[in-house]
Structure formats: structure tokens, C-alpha cells
């Protein structure tokens, strides 16, 4: 175990208040096993923890982009989606594949606000269940007629069913995208856009993802990415101190630099539509908020009950904050286009 450097929050009296995480050691970094075993751990993690995510973070389980000091995390999370829409110029009513959709926050946003037809895929069956439940409740609140089917239709502006975008959610390993949508046993599907927010860092075979995305979009189709990165040119000591604890706790294969993503996209055949935009300083507050949200002793008890990975996940929040503060950990958005 590693010695803990205590994080403190300010109590209302102005005195430092110990965080429950300070009472627990940070697990020593362990090398991930095979890619298959890593994917199994990721699937288990999201099946077990997604209800907690939803209760703490809401339906958008991703960073927030804080443009002003007074913005809530929910507003900041929508800001991030809007930035991706800005850099991609995604057309209304586009057909979108939302990879690593979580509980479907972005999937629903694109359908509701842009009238897109969106397929959300996630490796977690529990996330599919939550996503469908939230969607059903959201459509019912509009007063529209609703039937729970594989494809859920949003009402148009006049309140009539359909015409306002649609969503469907599938439990699917992203590495099997072409297998599922590329034809064969099922009719081939193509998309106007592949959208992936903070999920590509989880995928072991990133070159396969870029090649699959290229195969699934038509000419002029888009690949929109928001993700976590390491800074280029880090020393071995910086990797060990700041990056390895993130990779370990967040169940990531090695972190890449943003430039490595560009190289893989171009190798797959894409051209750059918007080069990587580093927004690290504007999203770093996410982890200060997140650290305060995991201040419940019962949450730490639950994490510990899940074994080493549960504790390493929560303690990785420290590493995320430290990496942003040190400039070793980065966040960027980018967009590519198929010629």
C-alpha cells in the first residue's frame, strides 16, 4: 500500500475537514491482465456502480466544461456536449452511433435537442436498463403517447409522436461494432456520425476502433471524440506518480497522447476536421466536485466491499486532480471526417 497524502475540504467554520478517503490507503498499482480480463473488469464495474454514478453525477457521466464560476456540474456537462456539436457542426436529424453511451445522457440530448436518431451502445447491461428507464420517463413527462419498444421516439415540437428524434440502447462491446452493424447476419447500417465521449480510453484496441468507425460512416461522415490523455514527453517518474494510478484505478489500458489519436485516425483514412483542443483547465473542476461528492463513508464502505478495484477507483480521483494540477493529465476534444 502507498502512503496517503491527505486531501481536506473546508468546513463551514473554516477549519479543514478530513475526507473519508483519507482513512484508506491507496492500493499499489497492479498491471492489468489480458485485454479480455480487463474488459470483464470494466463490464463488472459498470454493472455494479452505474446506479451510484447516476445518483451522484446524474445522467451525463462525463466531465463538465465550466465556462463561468457559478455554473452547476449539470450545466457544465451540457456545455461539453455543445462544444462537441460546435466543433463537429453535426447536422440536425443525423443518424448517430454513441459509443460508450453510459446511461444515455448524450444519446437522449442529441435526440431531444437535435432530432437525431441515435443508437447508444455500452458494454454494461445494467446501463442499458437504466438508460431505457430514464428515456421512458422523460418521454412520458412530455405528455406524448408512449410504448416501450426497442426504438423510443421523442415527440415533435407539436407534441405528436415521432419527428423529434429517437433512441435505442444496445449492450455491445465496441470492438464488435462492425460485426453488429456492418452486415452479415443483420442488415448493414451506416451512420452520419460516430460519437465517443470518455470511452475510447477504455478500449484496448484503439486502432480497431478507428478502423471500425471509418467503416460505419458514409462519405462526409464524422468521428467526434472527447477523451482523457497524458501529456507528451513525460518522464518515467511522472508516468509512475501521476499516470499509472489513473490507468489502474479507472481500468484503462495505457493512456495515449492526443497526437497519437490523430495519427490513428489518419491511418484509418479520416482527415482532421478539428484538431485537438485542450480544455483541461476548463474541465479540471469536475474532479474537485467529484471528490466532494464521494465524501460519504458508506460509499467508501461499498467500494471496499467490491474488492481492490472499488477502492482503487475512488482513490484514482486523487490522481486525476493531481494530474490536472501538474499538467501531466490532459483533456481534449477533436473531430474527424471521412473524405
User: What is the mean pLDDT of the segment spanning 244-257?
Assistant: 93
Q: Of 304, 302, 242, 275, whose CA–CA distance to 25 is shortest? A: 304
pTM, two decimal places = 0.88
User: What is the mean pLDDT of the segment spanning 189-209?
Assistant: 97
Give 300-304 contacts, CB < 8 A, sequence gap 24+. Answer: 300/20, 300/21, 300/23, 300/24, 302/52, 304/24
Cell numbers for 308:
481492490
Cα atoms found within 13 Å of the Cα of residue 124, Cβ hemisphere only: 23
* 274: pLDDT strictly greater than 50: yes
Window from 24-33, 189-198, 244-253 with minimum mean pLDDT? 24-33
Give the SS3 label for residue 71: coil
Residues in the chain, overall count: 339
DSSP run (H or E) holding 207: helix 206-216
CA atoms of 210 and 223, how far apart (whole Å): 9
Tell me the pLDDT tens digit for each residue of 94-146.
999 999 999 999 999 999 999 999 999 999 999 999 999 999 999 988 877 77
The owner of cell 478539428 is 274
| Band (290; pLDDT cuts 50, 70, 90) | confident
Number of Cβ atoms within 10 Å of the Cβ of 11:
10
Tell me the pLDDT tens digit for each residue of 21-43.
666 666 677 677 676 777 887 78
| 281-291 exposure pattern, b = at least 16 Cβ within 10 A, e = fewer | ebbbbbbeebb
Q: Is the CATH number of domain 19-337 3.40.1160.10?
A: no
Window from 169-173, 192-196, 200-204, 294-298 with minimum mean pLDDT? 294-298
CA atoms of 225 and 199, how far apart (whole Å): 9
Q: Where are the beta strands (DSSP E) in the chain?
A: 8-10, 16-18, 95-99, 117-122, 152-155, 163-171, 191-197, 217-230, 271-278, 329-337
Cβ atoms of 321 and 197 within 8 Å: the answer is: no
Cell numbers for 322:
493531481
Q: How far does the chain reach from its first CA to its final CA, in angstroms?
A: 51
Q: Of 226, 237, 223, 238, whose CA–CA distance to 337 is shortest? A: 223
Tell me the pLDDT tens digit for each residue of 162-186.
568 999 999 999 999 999 998 765 7
User: What is the sign, positive or negative, of the torsion defined by CA atoms of 123, 115, 331, 310?
Assistant: negative
Cβ atoms of 255 and 201 within 8 Å: the answer is: yes
Amino acid at each position: 500500500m502507498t502512503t496517503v497524502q491527505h486531501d481536506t475540504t473546508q468546513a463551514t467554520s473554516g477549519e479543514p475537514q478530513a475526507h473519508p478517503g483519507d482513512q484508506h490507503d491507496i492500493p499499489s498499482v497492479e498491471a492489468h491482465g489480458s485485454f479480455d480480463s480487463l474488459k470483464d473488469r470494466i463490464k463488472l464495474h459498470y454493472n455494479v456502480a452505474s446506479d451510484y454514478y447516476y445518483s451522484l453525477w446524474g445522467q451525463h457521466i462525463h466531465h463538465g466544461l465550466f465556462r463561468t464560476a457559478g455554473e452547476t456540474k449539470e450545466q457544465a456537462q451540457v456545455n461539453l456536449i455543445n462544444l462537441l456539436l460546435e466543433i463537429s457542426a453535426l447536422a440536425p436529424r443525423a443518424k448517430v452511433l454513441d459509443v460508450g453511451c453510459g446511461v444515455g445522457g448524450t444519446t437522449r440530448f442529441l435526440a431531444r435537442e437535435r432530432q437525431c436518431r441515435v443508437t447508444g451502445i455500452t458494454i454494461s447491461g445494467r446501463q442499458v436498463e437504466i438508460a431505457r428507464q430514464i428515456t421512458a420517463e422523460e418521454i412520458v413527462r412530455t405528455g406524448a403517447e408512449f410504448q416501450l419498444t426497442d426504438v423510443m421516439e421523442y415527440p415533435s415540437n407539436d407534441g405528436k409522436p415521432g419527428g423529434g428524434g429517437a433512441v435505442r440502447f444496445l449492450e455491445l462491446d465496441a470492438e464488435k461494432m462492425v460485426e453488429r452493424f456492418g452486415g452479415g447476419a443483420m442488415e448493414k447500417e451506416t451512420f452520419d456520425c460516430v460519437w465517443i465521449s470518455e470511452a475510447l480510453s477504455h478500449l484496448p484496441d484503439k486502432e480497431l476502433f478507428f478502423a471500425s468507425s471509418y467503416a460505419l460512416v458514409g462519405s462526409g461522415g464524422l468521428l467526434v471524440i472527447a477523451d482523457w490523455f497524458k501529456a507528451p514527453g513525460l518522464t518515467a517518474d511522472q508516468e509512475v506518480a501521476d499516470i499509472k494510478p489513473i490507468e489502474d484505478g479507472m481500468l484503462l489500458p495505457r493512456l495515449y497522447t492526443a497526437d497519437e489519436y490523430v495519427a490513428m485516425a489518419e491511418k484509418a483514412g479520416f482527415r482532421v476536421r478539428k484538431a485537438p483542443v485542450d480544455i483541461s483547465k476548463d474541465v479540471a473542476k469536475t474532479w474537485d466536485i467529484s471528490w466532494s461528492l464521494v465524501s460519504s463513508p458508506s460509499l467508501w464502505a461499498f467500494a471496499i466491499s467490491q474488492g481492490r478495484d472499488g477502492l482503487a477507483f475512488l482513490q484514482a480521483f486523487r490522481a486525476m486532480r493531481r494530474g490536472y494540477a501538474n499538467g501531466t493529465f490532459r483533456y481534449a476534444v477533436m473531430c474527424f471526417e471521412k473524405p
